[in-house]
Chain A
Amino acid sequence: MSKKVLTVDDDPDIIAFVKTVLEENSYSPLIARNGEVGLDLAREEKPDLVILDVLMPKQSGIRMYRELKADESLKDTPVIILSGIAKRTFLRSQEALTEFGDQPVPEPDLYIEKPVEPDELAEAIKNLIK
């Protein structure tokens, strides 16, 4: 059975791009357009990997990432952040939320700033899905 990869992004072009990379490498793509839907889908489907954007409607990737890491059944799922938002910002944001009283969260397994080449993404996925 092929491994499931959940992509959470509101940009249709990015979704199409990642879906193509996943299908060409025999993964099963799952798609969500915002963090709220993404989290529900993750809880339902238990994907083997999550590819997550940061700036999205309804719920950002920053918040969804925290929710993933707080969920016992999902906290060990590897996460690639794929975003136009800088990694430094993502980490500072998580620090700020921890200062406001939220639980600290580990760094994501991989952070890629957009754009990404298909081979680079495929290689990253392969390395993280064991």
Chain B
Amino acid sequence: MLFVTQFEELWFDALQSLMDLRKSGFNHVVFLHVIERDKVAMHRGKGYLKDEETKLREIANIRFIDWAESLFEQGMEVGAYIVVGNPLPKIISTAEEEDVDLIVTGHHKKGKVEELYAGSETVDILRRTSTPVLVYKYMLPSGKINERPFEKPILAMDWSPASERAVKYLINFRDIIKEVVVINVASEKDIKGASAMDIQATRKKNRQRLDEVCDIFRKEGIEAYSHLYIGDTCVEIEKAAQEREATMIVAGATGKSGLKEIFMGNVAKKLAKYSAFPTLLVPANIKPEIN
């Protein structure tokens, strides 16, 4: 698991809440802190700020040692990278070098640079890697601390290859998932002009497909329930997560070209940026099994 951090508030608590993942085979955490080039780059009359870089590296190193000690004592394997550069390529290269099965990033609402990890940038990561990305939010909308984010995920299905992969990926977490809520959102435009009979036929077909997905989970010992929604995709997914008291939203995502993919990219982008829930986005070209 690659844990990308800018040392946000409560971020170590967030990391601790992901320690349940050990039961699903995630026993190696790699920390990545990227010192943005602007902070140390050539400045007029000052040149490259080597002393500033050293100071920032040491601050990050001290924090990582503290975090690593806590994880090592829990029997975890821990590694750390402190690098200078642009976050996106550094995240991609570190994920490749460490062959990770999950990238965890934070979510920031303020600051230009910090926005990097949310929204379109998350989609950019997914476009360039076959690794799922978890945009993590530590506090649930209810104000409670999200201690077990994988306990009750809500899985948004759109029948794309990416969402089919998300089903397989979630099964890896069978030991920590209590229940999966599987949903499909039909957009209003999909049923515009259709007869009542056609709408009911569509509803029945989607319901059957959702039940088939639920059966896949049940065969793996995971309880699953299906629900249909209609309206704006992101709004309805968010609403469903609140109604069902989910601990996380899971959706397929892809950055490939094509109208469908562009649409999905937008859904992933909006969920990553605006959802109040942790959002796990699974690319279509994901590795078949976790290491």
Which chain A residues lie closer than 8 Å to B65 at the CB level? 55, 84-85
The answer to whether A62 and B79 touch (CB under 8 A), given A57-B30, A84-B61, A84-B65, is: no
In chain A, what residue has the closest Cβ to B73? Answer: A92
Which chain B residues lie closer than 8 Å to A34 at the CB level? 79
Q: Tell me the interface secondary structure of chain A in the complex.
A: loop
Which chain B residues lie closer than 8 Å to A86 at the CB level? 69
Instruction: Give min CB distance, A66 to chain B, whole Å.
Output: 10
Count contacts on A: residues with CB < 8 A to the other chain: 21
The answer to whether A89 and B98 touch (CB under 8 A), given A55-B78, A60-B78, is: no
Q: Find out whether the CB atom of B73 lies under 8 angstroms from the CB atom of A93.
A: yes
Q: Find out whether the CB atom of B75 lies under 8 angstroms from the CB atom of A97.
A: yes
Chain B 68-86: CB-based contact to A (< 8 A → 1; otherwise 0) = 1100111101111100000
Which chain A residues lie closer than 8 Å to B80 at the CB level? 55-57
Q: Find out whether the CB atom of A85 lies under 8 angstroms from the CB atom of B79.
A: no
Give the contact-size bracket for chain B: 10 to 19
Q: Is A124 an interface position by the 8 A CB rule?
A: no
Residues 96-154 of B at the A interface (beta carbon under 8 Å): 97-98
Q: Find out whether the CB atom of A89 lies under 8 angstroms from the CB atom of B69.
A: yes
The answer to whether A57 and B98 touch (CB under 8 A), given A85-B69, A89-B69, A90-B72, is: yes
Q: Find out whether the CB atom of A56 lies under 8 angstroms from the CB atom of B79.
A: yes
Instruction: Give min CB distance, B67 to chain A, whole Å.
Output: 10
Q: What is the CA–CA distance of A63 and B77 in the complex, to the nearest angstrom? A: 7
Q: Is A99 an interface position by the 8 A CB rule?
A: yes
Task: State which of B30, B69, B75, B78 has its C-beta within 8 Å of the C-beta of A96.
Answer: B75
Instruction: Give min CB distance, B30 to chain A, whole Å.
Output: 7
Q: What is the CA–CA distance of A89 and B80 in the complex, to the nearest angstrom? A: 16
Which chain B residues lie closer than 8 Å to A60 at the CB level? 72, 77-79
A-B pairs with beta carbons under 8 Å apart, 12 shown = A54-B68, A55-B64, A55-B80, A57-B98, A58-B79, A85-B65, A85-B68, A86-B69, A89-B72, A93-B73, A96-B73, A100-B75
Q: Which residues of A contact B (CB under 8 A)?
A: 34, 54-60, 62-63, 84-86, 89-90, 92-93, 96-97, 99-100
